[in-house]
Structure 1
Amino acid sequence: MMWGRLVRVRGGVAPTLLPLAVRHEGRSLGRTPFFQNASYSTAAAERKKFYKDVSISQGDGGLFEISLDRRKLRTPGGKLFTVPNEALAIAVATEWDAQKDTLKFYTMHMTTLCNTALDNPTQRNQVQMISAALKFLETDTVCYRVEEPPGLVELQKNEWDPVMAWIEKRYNVVIGSSSDIMGPSIPEETKETFRQHLLSYNFWSLTGLEYVITQLKSVVLSLGLVDRHLSVEQAVLLSRLEEEYQIQRWGNVEWAHDYDMYELRARSAAGALFVQLSSESCTVKRKLLQD
């Protein structure tokens, strides 16, 4: 037998099985600080694994902490690694527990996003983050249409128009599309509507949303994913529509294409999950599972 956990999120259920080696201690397990100096933003960063057990404890103020062999995890900037709820702590702890002989930091997307939210390396506030996110709307992937070849024109219309119709109805806005190199002219009313909507997100959630937007190069697709109108697979495919069309016509280096696709799915999924866990009211319940 082993203990697992079911993470319940308002509006949906995200099942997360906590590995056996990840233990929830309930309270803090000691005060020896652990400084993690690796830069998680470095794609090639790897390090030999130096711990056996990963645990979660709840510290002062109700925040949750991660410990490696009972030594507290810290951010690259030296801050104590704390997250606002247990569900997010479980997601991070699972990443650390899943590492084998070598720590592959570039696969630990949830940890990276938490470090970014805690250290805020660009020193931006929520208003600045929202402005940066809205700039992507002016160059949104689904807003730029081609005039030829006819097959791609039809594919963009068939695949992108339904998503555009959904978001315009969902937020009562006008976005539009254009084949002009300058793209469509986004009405100021539309930008203000999205600005007000994004103001409802907390700093952590905005960190995750901005991450998704930069991956998909699209505000429309990112909101479709976060709002659960699109699956991760759908959002990624729509963001790569022209590339997929060209591959169908001319072929590709199969392993490279598959690697890029899976990587983009992993990053987009992690970002969307991060938004949900950072913004929703979460409770964690124990469930006894048969091994």
Structure 2
Amino acid sequence: MLPSLLAITARRLRVFPAALCAQTRLYAAAATERKKFYENVSISHGEGGFEINLDRRKLRTPQGKIFTAPSEALAVAVATEWDCQRDVIKFYTMHLTTLCNTALDNPTLRNKEQLITAALKFLETDTVCYRVEEPPGLVELQRNEWDPVIEWAEKRYNVVIGSSTSIQGPIIPTETKDVFSRHLASYNSWGLLGIEFIISQLKSLVLTMGLIDRHLPVEKAVLLSRLEEEYQIQRWGNVEWAHDYDLQELRSRTAAGTLFVHLCSESSTIKHKLLQD
């Protein structure tokens, strides 16, 4: 059993692209605390979009750009993050702000095509596509919980995905990659950044698209992404505070990423995507 679980861990660690790791390191310095320096948060409409004002100061990105959100709804959500801070600003709790900063500064200088390529790489190492051969209980759990999600995705996008017990994973047909590439291209660059962020949390493009398409709620998608861990916890128990903290953090980041994708997608883009599907 142990070798199988080690193989799963190794496969899951492979999915992080270098670009995503680089931008995470760049903004790691922002994941600290700072004494709150403002009283009121407001929103104004500027030339580049909707701006966030902290008292009379305009919010700026880590690179010094004026913070602008492409939609009023996203600006309201970001403003809420800032308004919820108390005596100390906890930047590591402000996932929407961080995603917007990354989209505005684009520290890794990636274009839309590169974002799509990065997202598609996850399909080759998708969590729900990798299966164990033992123990029987986990084999059955993966089949019962993951097979319906794969079947949904195959029917939804008219593709073949499949699963495998090999450490190399299933062979994803070129046609399947092409379909997902066209679908991802219907999102703007902000939306693609959010999709990649969700994928990095769940280690799964399939689960991510289930979330974005509103087929799966956040709680269910997170549970499915942690199926092996939950199985081990049920058998051997858990470190109470560590497990609960990790679970809540994963839910928080996944929910924020999903909200980000929906709020930053322009209506024209959404209509165009629906016409393509």
TM range (shorter): 0.7 to 0.9
33, 38, 50: which is aligned to 1:51? Answer: 38
268, 271, 279: which is aligned to 2:257? Answer: 271
Using the TM superposition, give the Cα deviation of residue 41 of structure 1 relative to its aligned residue in structure 2, in angstroms: 3.4
Which residue number in structure 2 is paired with residue 235 of structure 1? Answer: 221
Which residue number in structure 1 is paired with residue 160 of structure 2? Answer: 174
Instruction: Give distance in 2, aligned partners of 1:83 and 1:252.
Output: 40
49, 53, 62: which is aligned to 1:76? Answer: 62
Q: Map residues 176-195 of structure 1 onto 2, 5 A cutoff.
A: 176-195=162-181
Identity over aligned pairs, percent: 75
Alignment partner of 1:138 is 2:112: no
More strand by share: 1
Using the TM superposition, give the Cα deviation of residue 76 of structure 1 relative to its aligned residue in structure 2, in angstroms: 0.3
Using the TM superposition, give the Cα deviation of residue 85 of structure 1 relative to its aligned residue in structure 2, in angstroms: 1.2
What whole-Å deviation, never above 9, does each CA across 1:221-253 have from its counterpart, x for those lacking one?
000011110000000000000000000000010
State how many pairs are aligned. 243
111, 120, 143: which is aligned to 1:125? Answer: 111
TM-score by length of 1: 0.82
Which residue number in structure 1 is paired with residue 79 of structure 2? Answer: 93
Instruction: Give distance in 1, aligned partners of 2:29 and 2:217.
Output: 28
Whose relative contact order is higher, 1 or 2, with alpha carbons under 8 Å and at least 6 apart? 1
1:43/1:162 Cα in 2 relative to 1: closer, same or farther (>3 Å)? farther
Question: What is the root-mean-square deviation in Å for CA atoms of aligned residues?
Answer: 1.3
- Contact 1:138–1:186 (Cα < 8 Å) also in 2: yes
SS in 1 for 2:160: coil
Instruction: Give distance in 2, aligned partners of 1:44 and 1:269.
Output: 18
More helix by share: 2
Instruction: Give distance in 2, aligned partners of 1:263 and 1:202.
Output: 26
Instruction: Give distance in 2, aligned partners of 1:60 and 1:229.
Output: 36
TM-score by length of 2: 0.86
- Contact 1:40–1:106 (Cα < 8 Å) also in 2: no
Alignment partner of 1:248 is 2:221: no
- Contact 1:49–1:103 (Cα < 8 Å) also in 2: yes
Which residue number in structure 2 is paired with residue 218 of structure 1? Answer: 204
1:105/1:129 Cα in 2 relative to 1: closer, same or farther (>3 Å)? same
Which residue number in structure 1 is paired with residue 17 of structure 2? Answer: none
SS in 2 for 1:58: strand
- Name structure 1 gaps, 5 residues minimum: 1-38, 283-291
SS in 2 for 1:122: coil
Which residue number in structure 2 is paired with residue 18 of structure 1? Answer: none
- Name structure 2 gaps, 5 residues minimum: 1-25, 269-277
